[in-house]
Amino acid sequence: MKNLIYSSTLIFSFLAITACNKNDAIQPRKGLSQPDSIAAAAPPDRECDSSEPVKYVLNNNTGINSFIITFSGSSNYTFAFPANGSKTVAVKPGIYNIQIPPAGNFASHGFYMDNQPSVHAPTARYQNVKINPCSVTLQTSID
């Protein structure tokens, strides 16, 4: 019985030693206590010219080709929505009153604008909308 216990322990030790290679040993790596250079690096500042126009996407899913949008304020713009799909326009940064007058048969539609409450009516008006310089692309949609 004693031989059996010693034999199994000896076999286990032999298998454990032969399963490990010299390079399998856990060794400390240099610099692990320092922060990762990628994680520590701040994201690069996007070059931003606050006088440059901001991209603004106009989406229309109604099939009606007579919707327009008017920006009144720092500058004045009027753009036509496409009948279906989207198009991108450019608006200078500033504060605007935005209006989308009724079109087609004057039925109610859903109007959706970034950071503004949605409107379900024949027309939509938004007051004091700030178009931030260097912001991501903004959008208005009609359904």
Task: Answer with the residue of higher pLDDT: 45 or 97.
Answer: 97
Residue 104 lies in a domain: yes
| 55-75 confidence digits (pLDDT tens) | 999 999 999 999 999 999 989
**Start-end of H helices in 20-123:** 37-40
Residue 136 lies in a domain: yes
Domains of the chain: total: 1
Residue 40 lies in a domain: no
Banded pLDDT at 44 (limits 50, 70, 90): very low
**What's the pLDDT score for residue 74?**
84
Residue 119 lies in a domain: yes
| 101-118 confidence digits (pLDDT tens) | 998 788 999 999 988 999
Residue 56 CB-density burial (10 A; 0-12 exposed, 13-18 middle, 19+ buried): buried
Residue 80 lies in a domain: yes
Query: Residue 99: what are its φ and ψ, rounded to 5°?
Result: -135, 140
Banded pLDDT at 84 (limits 50, 70, 90): very high
CATH for 106: 2.60.40
Supply the range of the domain harboring residue 130: 55-142
Banded pLDDT at 77 (limits 50, 70, 90): very high
Cβ 110 vs Cβ 142: under 8 Å: yes
Residue 93 lies in a domain: yes
Q: What is the DSSP letter of 93?
A: S
Residue 94 lies in a domain: yes
Residue 92 CB-density burial (10 A; 0-12 exposed, 13-18 middle, 19+ buried): middle
Q: Is the pLDDT reported for residue 122 higher than 80?
A: yes
Q: How far apart are CA 97 and CA 103, in angstroms?
A: 19
Residue 112 lies in a domain: yes
Q: Residue 77: helix, strand or coil by DSSP? A: strand
Q: How far apart are CA 54 and CA 7, in angstroms?
A: 79
Q: How far apart are CA 91 and CA 133, in angstroms?
A: 10
Helices (H) and strands (E) in the chain, counts: 2, 9
Residue type, 49: D
